[in-house]
Amino acid sequence: MPFNQYCKELKGISTHKIDFLESSSIDEREVKELCLTFRSSIEQTGARREGILDIFGNIVEKCPLITGAIWSKIPFQVYLAVEECVSEFIDSLSSSGKEGILRCHPDLCGRDLTRGTLTEESQNEQSQAGLTSLNPMEREILNHLNLQYKEKFGFTFVICAKMSDKNKITQELNSRLQNDPCQELQNGIDQVKKICHLRIQDIFFHGKIPTKL
Amino acid sequence: MPFNQYCKELKGISTHKIDFLESSSIDEREVKELCLTFRSSIEQTGARREGILDIFGNIVEKCPLITGAIWSKIPFQVYLAVEECVSEFIDSLSSSGKEGILRCHPDLCGRDLTRGTLTEESQNEQSQAGLTSLNPMEREILNHLNLQYKEKFGFTFVICAKMSDKNKITQELNSRLQNDPCQELQNGIDQVKKICHLRIQDIFFHGKIPTKL
List pLDDT tens digits, range A78-89: 667 888 899 999
Look up the ipTM and state it: 0.76
Q: How far apart are CA A178 and CA A132, in angstroms?
A: 26
pTM recorded for the entire structure: 0.79
Of A158-172, B17-31, B76-90, minimum mean pLDDT range: B17-31
Query: For the segment A71-128, what is each residue's pLDDT rounded down to a tens digit?
Result: 777 666 566 788 889 999 999 999 999 999 999 999 999 988 988 989 999 999 999 9
Confirm if B76 and B42 have CB atoms less than 8 A apart. Answer: yes
pLDDT-derived band of residue B25, with 50, 70 and 90 as boundaries?
Answer: very low
User: Residues of A near B (CB-CB distance < 8 A)?
Assistant: 47, 49-50, 53, 62-73, 89, 92-94, 96-97, 99-104, 107, 111, 117, 150, 154-156, 212-213
Q: How far apart are CA A208 and CA A46, in angstroms?
A: 19
Is the pLDDT score of B200 beyond 60?
A: yes
Give the CA-trace dihedral at B128, B129, B132, B134, to 10 degrees. Answer: 150
Q: Note whether B69 contacts A96, CB cutoff 8 Å.
A: yes
The DSSP letter of residue A110 is: S
Q: pLDDT over 70 for what percent of chain B?
A: 72
| Neighbour-count burial for A98-137, b at 16+ CB within 10 Å, e otherwise | bbbbbbbbbbbbbebbeeeebbebbbbbbeebbbeebeee
Is the pLDDT score of B10 beyond 50?
A: no
Q: How far apart are CA A19 and CA A8, in angstroms?
A: 12
pLDDT-derived band of residue B55, with 50, 70 and 90 as boundaries?
Answer: confident
Q: Note whether A69 contacts B156, CB cutoff 8 Å.
A: no
Q: Note whether A69 contacts B117, CB cutoff 8 Å.
A: no
User: What pLDDT does residue A29 have?
Assistant: 52
From chain B, the residues in CB contact with A99 under 8 A are 68-69, 72
* Residue B14, min C-alpha distance to chain A (Å): 22
From chain A, the residues in CB contact with B53 under 8 A are 103-104
| Neighbour-count burial for B159-197, b at 16+ CB within 10 Å, e otherwise | bbbbebebeebbebbeebeeeeeeebbebbbebbebbbb
Is the pLDDT score of B142 beyond 80?
A: yes
User: What pLDDT does residue B181 have?
Assistant: 97
Q: Note whether B64 contacts A156, CB cutoff 8 Å.
A: no
Longest dimension (CA), chain A: 55
* Residue B99, min C-alpha distance to chain A (Å): 6
Out of A50, A69, A156, closest to residue B97 by CB: A69
Q: Note whether A67 contacts B154, CB cutoff 8 Å.
A: no
From chain A, the residues in CB contact with B49 under 8 A are 103, 150, 154-156
Is the pLDDT score of A4 beyond 50?
A: no
B163 vs B11, more confident: B163
pLDDT-derived band of residue B73, with 50, 70 and 90 as boundaries?
Answer: confident
Q: What is the mean pLDDT of chain B?
A: 79
pLDDT-derived band of residue A17, with 50, 70 and 90 as boundaries?
Answer: very low
* Residue B12, min C-alpha distance to chain A (Å): 18
B176 vs A25, more confident: B176
From chain B, the residues in CB contact with A54 under 8 A are none
Q: pLDDT over 90 for what percent of chain A?
A: 52
A14 vs A209, more confident: A209
Domains and CATH numbers, chain B: 3-94 (no CATH), 99-194 (1.10.3330.10)
Confirm if A131 and A112 have CB atoms less than 8 A apart. Answer: no
User: What pLDDT does residue B206 have?
Assistant: 75
A140 vs A207, more confident: A140
Q: How far apart are CA A22 and CA A25, in angstroms?
A: 8
Confirm if A61 and B53 have CB atoms less than 8 A apart. Answer: no
Of A59-68, B41-50, B116-125, minimum mean pLDDT range: B41-50
Of B13-27, B64-78, B119-133, B138-152, minimum mean pLDDT range: B13-27
Residues 6+ apart with CB under 8 A from A64: A53, A57, A58, A213, B62, B63, B100, B103, B104
- Residue B94, classed as helix, strand or coil, is coil
| Neighbour-count burial for B32-71, b at 16+ CB within 10 Å, e otherwise | eebbeebeeebeeeeeebbbbbbbbbbbbbbbbbbbbbbb
Residues 6+ apart with CB under 8 A from B148: B177
* CA angle at B33 for the pair B27 and B36, rounded to the nearest 5°: 140
Rounded to 10 deg, the angle between the A48-56 and A28-44 helix axes is: 130
User: What pLDDT does residue A70 have?
Assistant: 86
Q: Note whether B103 contacts A62, CB cutoff 8 Å.
A: no
Out of B73, B96, B213, closest to residue A213 by CB: B213
Mean pLDDT of A153-161: 94
* CA angle at B128 for the pair B127 and B130, rounded to the nearest 5°: 65
* Residue B16, min C-alpha distance to chain A (Å): 26
User: What pLDDT does residue A49 have?
Assistant: 56
B77 vs A187, more confident: A187
Residues 6+ apart with CB under 8 A from B74: B11, B81, B82, B84, B85
B170 vs B211, more confident: B170
- Among residues B143, B148, B79, B69, the alpha carbon closest in space to that of B111 is found at B143
Longest dimension (CA), chain B: 55
From chain A, the residues in CB contact with B118 under 8 A are none
- Residue A200, classed as helix, strand or coil, is helix
* Residue B108, min C-alpha distance to chain A (Å): 13
Out of B49, B102, B212, closest to residue A103 by CB: B49
User: What pLDDT does residue A211 have?
Assistant: 74
Q: How far apart are CA A83 and CA A70, in angstroms?
A: 10
Mean pLDDT of A2-13: 37
Q: Assign residue A169 a region: left if phi > 0, alpha if psi is -120 to 50, beta otherwise?
A: alpha
User: What pLDDT does residue A37 have?
Assistant: 52
Tell me which amino acid residue A54 is. Answer: D
Is the pLDDT score of B70 beyond 80?
A: yes
- Among residues B68, B171, B56, B158, the alpha carbon closest in space to that of B106 is found at B158
Through-space distance between the first and last CA atoms of chain A, rounded to whole angstroms: 39
Residues 6+ apart with CB under 8 A from B105: B61, B62, B122, B156, B158, B192
Residues 6+ apart with CB under 8 A from B79: B35, B200, B201, B203, B204
Q: Note whether A53 contacts B103, CB cutoff 8 Å.
A: yes
User: What pLDDT does residue B6 have?
Assistant: 37
Q: Note whether A53 contacts B92, CB cutoff 8 Å.
A: no
